[in-house]
């Protein structure tokens, strides 16, 4: 009981100082860049019916965290073939450094065998993507996310549409 009372009294003195360090006089977040985050994700491509695994890096472009560059790479496991997709996306987060809903798009490259013939050679095609999702976690170091993506290709009739769930970890 005595230890609990001491902890409560100490927290009453220390908590206001800790909170004021996080806020400016107007109640806004303190200045400074949000951390870069790295992550992994798994998913399912609805159009091609294949499992996916990937990695990403979230790089803040603005100090409030509202815009991020997101280089990412994914592998799609289809029957008898693996497809590789590399993208550079720019996304807008509705709640800035706290995460929230996000939307954006980007440019990428897809490496695949664009023929049902197993002897066909692989090639790289330019792709564009539209991205929407939600990132949770706020100021936490671990940030779960859910994302849907539509990959646009001029010569690719399958038009991948993956749904992915992932986890990013802030580096600082």
CB 59 within 8 A of CB 52: no
What tokens does 45 get? 């491509």
Give the start-to-end residue ranges of the domains of the chain: 33-170
Q: How confident is the model at residue 165, as a pLDDT?
A: 97
> Which residues are registered as beta bridge partners of 164?
43, 147
- pLDDT score, position 22: 44
Round to whole Å and give the CA distance between 88 and 86.
7
pLDDT at 156: 59
CATH topology of domain 33-170: Porin (2.40.160)
The model's pLDDT over 131-165, given as tens digits with 9 standing for 90+, comes to 999 999 888 899 999 999 999 886 656 678 999 99
Beta bridge partners of 50: 45
């Amino acid at each position: 009981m005595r230890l609990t009372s001491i902890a409560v009294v100490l927290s009453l003195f220390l908590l206001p100082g800790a909170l004021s360090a996080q806020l400016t006089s107007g109640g806004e977040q303190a200045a400074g860049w949000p951390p870069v985050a790295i992550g992994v994700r798994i998913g399912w491509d609805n159009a091609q019916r294949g499992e996916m695994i990937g990695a990403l890096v979230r790089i803040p472009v603005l100090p409030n965290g509202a815009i991020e560059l997101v280089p990412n790479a994914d592998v799609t496991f289809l029957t008898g073939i693996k497809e590789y997709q590399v993208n550079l996306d720019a996304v807008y987060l509705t709640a800035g450094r706290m995460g929230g809903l996000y939307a954006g798009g980007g440019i990428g490259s897809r490496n695949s065998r664009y023929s049902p013939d197993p002897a066909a050679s692989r090639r790289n095609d330019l792709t564009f993507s539209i991205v929407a999702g939600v990132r949770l976690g706020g100021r936490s170091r671990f940030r779960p996310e859910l994302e849907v993506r539509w990959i646009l290709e001029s010569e690719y009739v399958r038009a991948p549409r993956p749904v992915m769930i992932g986890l990013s970890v802030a580096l600082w």
